[in-house]
Chain A
């Protein structure tokens, strides 16, 4: 059986106050150098929600603009207003901070999120107007607590404060007095991940045109861990988010692999469906507070806005073959193995050329590659270059070495077979998957026949191995509905066989009687 991409969702939440209070670049600086000029200057670089809406890469992420349209806009992009500044797009939405804080409270089932009742009263009507919110979620919003209660938890109980426009409007309290795995900081980080995953799940169901009850399995592939001191990464974000998104028939589990997580999870989901284990699997991921403002020092130094102010999320719906939607070709799976090594040449070989060679294809047989799709507007000022472009240059260079490409075509390869990056630098969020929504449309429209999604992960960050990691997979135009396996024998043949057996049996009985 084949598995297909039924739909995808992409969401963002604009969280400028979390940049200041929860991004690790800032929290580290506050410990190491609390009086630094950077910490004083950063608030002046935060964007308003309207500025985030008018930012070109954000409009591409939620699907109102295409990567090709973005590529036609001269870089840098932070100083240019997009001609579309809608908060809703065909893939999802950009949620403002005040609504996201309410959504976090709705996603909390342990009474950990305490919001000032005045804040709730002021902003709940806006959330009620949100196109994707339904009663299942809205009915979970409580009326909130007195501000003095919030202040007490923050001042005396180690709660993680929640700010909006630099005003204390709530907090996340610790879930245990001693266990650091349930500290207010960790609970805050996990609830942000969960809430953004829920938002992505809601849109994924809507965009795929399925019923919530159709979802049988959810795989969460973010980079957070939830658990307690006895099972620190016990899980299960997937089922927790599915509960809030009201997917009654779903169970699920978490799959991890740093930034390669989404690609691993999608291969697993595609295989589960292809094997017939589940009919409909959704791969989902919420965003990451720690990475907010990660490159803020460089952005501030160069006079840019703090561009890393968006929490990202996505979800992909994978179902049994419908004869229409783009299908997975599970014969073309790239994998960086234990023995591959870490040289870029070996990495790209294992992920791109090796799997293609195994099925007799060339690099140029793939119409579009989607590797690490980080927004270069964010990474270039931080000295990390244009990450997608670097990937395309590497793929092209290896194609030249393999004889798949002429050296003269090196320069045009990134334009022809590549994309301009638009995803926020939220680790797993830009890793290959941002193109799946567009790829589905491009393949359905016949603009693209085959697309390769590449996820790469820096496992050494966890200090368990020095190894790098990566997997890749190919989605392609649907090759037509599979024929039902031909019946071994027809009903008439069965009748004939039974009649024959009866006759023989009768003959045997007669013979015995004689």
Chain B
């Protein structure tokens, strides 16, 4: 995850409290989604950014996961996300995301 984004996630968590923050991802691949999810839960696995060694344990979802899709206005989702839903390997992404959540999510 981009170092600047790590910094912003960390700052928002300090500002609002970890239990009130949900990180929503839009990464194109399962592996990239998993890495970003790991960064905001267990800490930066690349040991490069502000979240190195910082286990925030935040709630984190990919925008194509069913739980998130259900929260959307259908028309908005169709306009903003449905094309990508057709393109992405949603099952792979959902698998990676739930594995990371089960392992590291604290909320």
Binding site for B on A (CB under 8 A): 28-29, 32-33, 297, 341, 343-346, 348, 383-385, 390, 393-394, 397-398, 400-401, 410
13 example contacts (A-B, Cβ-Cβ < 8 A) are as follows: A32-B48, A33-B47, A343-B79, A343-B84, A345-B83, A383-B35, A385-B28, A390-B87, A393-B87, A397-B83, A398-B83, A401-B83, A401-B86
A449 to chain B, nearest CB (A): 26
Contact with A along B75-96 (1 / 0, CB 8 A): 0000111111011000000000
**Is the CB–CB distance between B81 and A394 below 8 Å?**
no
Q: Which residues of A contact B35 (CB under 8 A)?
A: 383
Question: Contact between B80 and A345 (Cβ–Cβ < 8 Å)?
Answer: yes
B11 at the interface (CB under 8 A from A): no
> B14 at the A/B interface (Cβ < 8 Å)?
no
Give the chain A neighbours of B87 by CB distance below 8 A: 390, 393-394, 397
Shortest CB distance A418–B (Å): 13
Query: Do A344 and B32 contact each other (CB < 8 Å), given the known contacts A32-B48, A297-B46?
Result: no
B74 within 8 A of A: no
Interface size on B, residues (CB 8 A): 17
Chain A nearest CB: distance from B6 CB in Å?
Answer: 13
Q: Which of B47-99 contact A (CB under 8 A)?
A: 47-48, 79-84, 86-87
Q: Are B32 and A383 in contact, CB atoms less than 8 angstroms apart?
A: yes
Q: Looking across the interface, which residue of chain B has its beta carbon closest to that of A301?
A: B46
Q: Which residues of B contact A (CB under 8 A)?
A: 26, 28-29, 31-32, 35, 46-48, 79-84, 86-87
| Alpha-carbon distance A346/B31, docked complex (angstroms) | 25
What separation, in Å, do the CA atoms of A397 and B28 have in the docked complex?
Answer: 14
Among A344, A346, A384, A398, find the residue whose CB has the most chain B CB atoms closer than 10 A. Answer: A344
User: Smallest distance from the beta carbon of A34 to chain B beta carbons, Å?
Assistant: 13
**A346 is contacted by which of B29, B32, B46, B80 (Cβ under 8 Å)?**
B80
Q: How far is the CB of A311 from chain B (nearest CB, A)?
A: 24
In the assembled complex, the CB of A83 is this many whole angstroms from the nearest CB of chain B, namely 32
Q: Which residues of chain B are near A348, meaning CB under 8 Å?
A: 83
Chain B residue with the shortest CB-CB distance to A343: B80
With CB as the reference atom, state the residue of chain A lying closest to B31: A383
Question: Smallest distance from the beta carbon of B37 to chain A beta carbons, Å?
Answer: 12
Complex alpha-carbon distance, A297 and B80, angstroms:
34
Do B29 and A343 touch across chains, with their CB atoms under 8 A apart?
no
Give every chain A residue within 8 A of B31 (Cβ-Cβ): 383
Residues of chain B contacted by A344 (CB below 8 angstroms): 26, 83-84
Q: Given contacts A343-B84, A394-B84, could you give 18 more A-B pairs where the C-beta distance is less than 8 Å?
A: A28-B48, A29-B48, A32-B48, A33-B47, A297-B46, A343-B80, A345-B80, A345-B82, A345-B83, A345-B84, A346-B80, A383-B31, A383-B32, A385-B28, A393-B86, A400-B86, A401-B82, A401-B86
- Which residues on the B side are within 8 Å of A385 (C-beta)? 28-29, 32
| A345 and B28 contact, Cβ closer than 8 Å, known pairs A32-B48, A297-B46, A394-B87 | no
- Please report the C-alpha to C-alpha distance between residue A401 and residue B82 in the assembled complex, in whole angstroms: 9
Q: How far is the CA of A342 from the CA of B81 in the complex (A)?
A: 11
**A345 with B32: CB separation less than 8 A:** no
Beta-carbon nearest neighbor of B79 in chain A = A345
Q: Is the CB of B32 within 8 A of A394?
A: no
- A41 vs B48: C-alpha distance when bound (angstroms): 17
Q: Which of A32, A345, A390 contacts B81 (CB 8 A)?
A: A345
Min CB distance A468 to B, Å, is 12
* Nearest CB in chain A to that of B83: its residue: A345
A343–B87 alpha-carbon span in the complex (Å): 14
